[in-house]
Amino acid sequence: MTASPFDISEVERRLLRFLDNEGLKSATIEALQSFTVGFSWITFGFDARWREAGQEHTRRMILRLGQPNGIFAPYKASPEFVTLRALQGHGAPVPHVHWRSDASDDFGAPFIIADFVRGEAPIPWTPDGGPAFDEPTRANLGRQFVAALAAIRRFDWRGAGLDVIGGPTEAAGAASDRIELWERPLGQWSDMRVPMLECAAIWLRENAPAAPSVSIVHGDYRIGNFLVEDGRITSILDWELARLGDPVEDLGWTCMQAWRGRSP
Task: Give residue-wise pLDDT tens across range 37-66.
Answer: 666 789 999 999 998 878 888 999 999 999
CATH number of the domain to which 81 belongs = 3.30.200.20
CB 70 within 8 A of CB 6: no
Mean pLDDT lowest for which of 5-9, 102-106, 111-115? Answer: 5-9
pLDDT tier at 217, thresholds 50, 70, 90: very high
Residue at 184: amino acid letter: R
CB-based burial, 50-65: b 16+ in 10 Å, e otherwise: beeeeeeeeeebbbbb
More confident residue, 187 or 211: 211
CB 179 within 8 A of CB 201: yes
Q: Which residue, 115, 147, 177, sits at the end of a domain?
A: 115
Mean pLDDT within 22-33: 91
Task: Report residue 242: phi and psi, to 5°.
Answer: -60, 130
The reply to whether 125 falls in a domain is no
**Number of residues that this document lists for the chain:** 264
Angstrom distance (rounded) from CA 144 to CA 239: 18
- Total domains in the chain come to 2
> Mean pLDDT for the chain?
91
Mean pLDDT within 97-118: 96
pLDDT at residue 1, rounded to an integer: 53
**Which domain does 97 fall in, by range?**
8-115
Q: Which residue, 115, 143, 162, sits at the end of a domain?
A: 115
Same domain, 159 and 225: yes
The pTM score is 0.90
The reply to whether 181 falls in a domain is yes
Digit-coded pLDDT (tens) for 154-210: 999 999 989 999 999 999 889 999 998 888 888 778 888 889 999 999 999 999 989
pLDDT at residue 37, rounded to an integer: 67
Digit-coded pLDDT (tens) for 80-99: 999 999 999 999 999 999 99
CA 223 to chain centre: 13
Same domain, 162 and 242: yes
Between the alpha carbon of residue 153 and those of residues 211, 214, 262, the distances in Å are 13, 9, 26
What angle do helix axes 135-154 and 248-255 make, rounded to 10 degrees? 160
First vs last C-alpha separation in the chain = 55
Same domain, 88 and 197: no
The reply to whether 123 falls in a domain is no
pLDDT at residue 187, rounded to an integer: 77
What is the percent of the chain where pLDDT is above 90?
A: 67
Report DSSP state, residue 38: -
pLDDT at residue 38, rounded to an integer: 65
The reply to whether 124 falls in a domain is no
Report DSSP state, residue 230: T
pLDDT at residue 141, rounded to an integer: 94
CATH number of the domain to which 253 belongs = 3.90.1200.10
pLDDT tier at 260, thresholds 50, 70, 90: confident
CA 231 to chain centre: 22
